[in-house]
Amino acid sequence: MSASDPVKPQGMASFGNGIWSGNSQLWWTAGEKGATVTLEFSVPKAGNYEVYFAGTKAIDYGIHSFAFNKDDSLGAPQDFNQAAGVSHTGQVNLGKTKLNSGKNTLTIKCISTHPDSVKKYMFGLDFLRIASTQ
């Protein structure tokens, strides 16, 4: 994992016990527009995959984009802002991408903030799920 700002686990049970996997998220406190975090993951077989994401929404969370293996942007940027409280996004379909056998990367980039948000760019990842389309 590489990041321009701190990334760490954050307990989420106080926001709803059992809603986040393992009652925690990977919390990235992105400090500015343009910041990135890159996560590594493996798949057993090269091919085309449908990619799903679940994360967190809150008043101080930003708008982020997703790219696989550095160059393959997937879907439109996602806005993780909400007016009040903290909630789980549920499972979001990001679309289809080709993945390599073994190591792959997911780069999350801070694009902006919602006009009504607290001007921070935070991001929370609960899980990433991939499903072969073959």
Q: How far is CA 41 from CA 34, 80, 93, 112, in A?
A: 23, 23, 18, 26
* CATH number of this structure's domain 2-132: 2.60.120.260
Convert the pLDDT of each residue in 34-60 to its tens digit: 999 999 999 999 999 999 999 999 999
More confident residue, 3 or 125: 125
Percent of the chain predicted with pLDDT > 90: 75
Structural domain boundaries in the chain? 2-132
Percent of the chain predicted with pLDDT > 70: 96
Q: Residue 70's CB: how many other CB atoms inside 10 A?
A: 10
